[in-house]
């Protein structure tokens, strides 16, 4: 089992504990036979891009390893309203105990994937790559970043260990852009693994200073489109460029046409709404013991 799988299992267990409380699902336990089995269908109640199916299934499997599952879609696929997404067969008690936790995950993650896909489509036919950020729900980053992949965008760094990204507070603490970059490079000397170096700039002065230091990527944070276009003209082609901040559905295409290589944004996490699913009994496929 990988570290991510261990982490996912831990998140699911804690989520189930939160939902079940100290005495479990007392309603289900009181009125449903412990041996009754039935088939349930996960239905999409609106058009969407589905994501989080593996964690949806894992919730049921953790509650009851004997539950059987049949998927009709994979993460990243477009699902039409009223389509059957997954069939679940097993003990009704187990299914009902897992239902809300599983639905919460798939609804949230499909919302992110659906909004991400909308943003990706808006920049079709441009060379720009859409990236996410570290602005994610605490403890759900891995799942949310997977949902962003399902929506067609790419992941920026997953955590602070993956690359050198010098931001405004680093620059302020070091005095200026040059000092921050040179200090980082000095610390990197002799390291067996070359770390990618990106620097955030907020004005032309910082931009010119960064260009002289030749980082791998320059992030232009919170630049208006007109200023961004002027800045791009100053940057050598060997240095990749990234626009971040101020990105919305209304302006993302204009930013994509500015000449940048990447657009990074948390918009698809912060503004995604949950997609509507239901888990319904399927009488034609049910069976009892």
**By three-state DSSP, how is residue 38 classified?**
strand
What CA–CA distance (Å, rounded) separates 199 from 236?
Answer: 15
Mean predicted lDDT score pLDDT of the chain: 94
Give me 23's structure tokens. Answer: 């005495």
What CA–CA distance (Å, rounded) separates 52 from 107?
Answer: 8
CATH code for the domain defined by 3-115+273-285:
3.90.1170.20
Q: What is the pLDDT of residue 282?
A: 87
**pLDDT tens per residue across span 156-181:** 999 999 999 999 999 999 999 999 99
pLDDT confidence bin for 193, thresholds 50/70/90:
confident
Q: What is the pLDDT of residue 284?
A: 60
> Average pLDDT of 12-27?
96
Instruction: Give, in words, the CATH class of 120-270.
Output: alpha beta
The three-state DSSP-derived secondary structure of 184-228 is HHHHHCCCCCCCCEEEEECCHHHHHHHHHHCCCEEEEECCCHHHH
26: phi then psi, degrees, rounded to nearest 5: -65, -35
Report whether pLDDT(47) > 90: yes
Q: What is the pLDDT of residue 289?
A: 33
| Percent of the chain scoring above 70 in pLDDT | 97
Radius of gyration of the chain (CA): 23
Task: Enumerate long-range contacts of 197-206, CB under 8 Å, 24 or more apart.
Answer: 197/163, 197/164, 197/166, 198/163, 198/164, 198/165, 198/166, 198/242, 199/165, 199/166, 199/171, 200/165, 200/166, 200/167, 200/168, 200/171, 200/244, 201/177, 202/168, 204/231, 204/234, 206/171, 206/176, 206/177
- Closest C-alpha among 122, 114, 110, 75 to residue 263: 122
pLDDT confidence bin for 1, thresholds 50/70/90:
low
Report whether pLDDT(77) > 50: yes
Give me 96's structure tokens. Answer: 């009902």
What CA–CA distance (Å, rounded) separates 13 from 125?
Answer: 43
Give me 231's structure tokens. Answer: 């800045």
**pLDDT tens per residue across span 82-97:** 999 999 999 999 999 9
Q: Catalogue the active-site residues.
A: 135
Bridge partners of 277, per DSSP, are 44
Instruction: Give the contacts of 42 (CB within 8 A, at least 6 positions apart).
Output: 56, 84, 85, 86, 87, 88, 106, 277, 278, 279
Q: What is the pLDDT of residue 288?
A: 40
Q: What is the pLDDT of residue 265?
A: 98
Measured CA to CA in angstroms, residue 279 lies from 1, 29, 85, 107, 158 at distances of 29, 19, 10, 12, 32
Q: What is the pLDDT of residue 5?
A: 81
**Crossing angle of helices 92-122/53-63, nearest 10°?**
170
With a threshold of 0.85, does the pTM exceed it?
yes
Are 268 and 119 in contact, with CB atoms under 8 Å apart? yes
**pLDDT tens per residue across span 221-280:** 999 999 999 999 999 999 999 999 999 999 999 999 999 999 999 999 999 999 999 999
Are 113 and 51 in contact, with CB atoms under 8 Å apart? yes
Residue extents of the structural domains in the chain: 3-115+273-285, 120-270
Give me 252's structure tokens. Answer: 């993302």
Report whether pLDDT(287) > 60: no
Report whether pLDDT(50) > 80: yes
């Amino acid at each position: 089992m990988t570290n991510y799988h261990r982490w996912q299992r831990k998140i699911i267990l804690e989520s189930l504990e939160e939902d079940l409380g100290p005495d479990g699902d007392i309603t289900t336990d009181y009125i449903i036979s412990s041996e009754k089995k039935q088939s349930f269908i996960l239905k999409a109640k609106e058009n969407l891009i589905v994501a989080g199916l593996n964690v949806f299934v894992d919730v049921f499997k953790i509650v009851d390893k004997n539950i059987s599952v049949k998927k009709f879609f994979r993460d990243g696929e477009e699902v039409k309203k009223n389509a059957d997404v997954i069939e679940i067969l097993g003990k009704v008690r187990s299914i009902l105990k897992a239902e809300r936790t599983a639905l919460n995950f798939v609804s949230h993650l499909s919302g992110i994937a659906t909004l991400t896909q909308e943003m990706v489509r808006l920049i079709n036919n441009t060379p720009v790559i859409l990236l996410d950020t570290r602005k994610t729900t605490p403890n759900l980053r891995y799942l949310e970043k997977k949902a962003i992949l399902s929506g067609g965008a790419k992941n920026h760094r997953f955590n602070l260990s993956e690359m050198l990204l010098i931001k405004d507070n680093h620059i302020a603490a070091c005095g200026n852009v040059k000092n921050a970059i040179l200090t980082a490079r000095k610390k990197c000397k002799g390291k067996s693994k070359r770390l990618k170096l990106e620097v955030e700039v907020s004005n032309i002065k910082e931009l010119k200073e960064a260009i002289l230091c030749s980082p791998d990527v320059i992030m232009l944070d919170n630049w208006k489109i007109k200023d961004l276009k002027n800045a791009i003209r100053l940057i050598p082609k060997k240095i990749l460029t990234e626009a971040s901040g101020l990105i919305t559905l209304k302006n993302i295409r204009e930013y994509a046409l500015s000449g940048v290589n990447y657009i990074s944004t948390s918009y698809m996490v912060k503004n995604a709404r949950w997609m509507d699913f239901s888990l319904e009994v399927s009488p034609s496929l049910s069976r009892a013991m």
